Amino acid sequence: MLTRYIQTAMHQAIYELLDDGTFYGEIPTCPGVLSNATTLEACREDLQSVLEDWLILGLRLGHTLPILNDIDLNPAAVEVA
């Protein structure tokens, strides 16, 4: 479920080539998840790392995470098997 969530979020990423030649990336549905790097690939890798850290911190602090394509990682929504 976590892998699907990360993949879904990364598919929602928006990238832009800035005037200084660097790449900016963000995931609009995940506030604060953004990256800036010298290559598009480095920007993608950094963005995923930021997303993973954002998720871990959000889960640890009990923040409400956005539901992406019906994937809900919020504690109340996760069923215990």
pLDDT by position in tens, the chain (length 81) = 999 999 999 999 999 999 999 999 999 999 999 999 999 999 999 999 999 999 999 999 999 999 999 999 997 765 555
Residue 12 lies in a domain: yes
- pTM for this entry: 0.89
pLDDT at 40: 98
Domain housing 46: 1-27+38-76
> Order of strands, edge to edge, in the sheet holding 34-37?
14-17, 23-26, 34-37
CATH number for position 66: 3.30.160.250
**pLDDT for the residue 80:** 55
In a domain, 20, yes or no: yes
Is residue 81 one of the residues assigned to a domain?
A: no
* Residue 54 is assigned to a structural domain of this protein: yes
Give the number of domains in the chain. 1
Cα–Cα distance, 72 to 18 (Å, whole number):
33
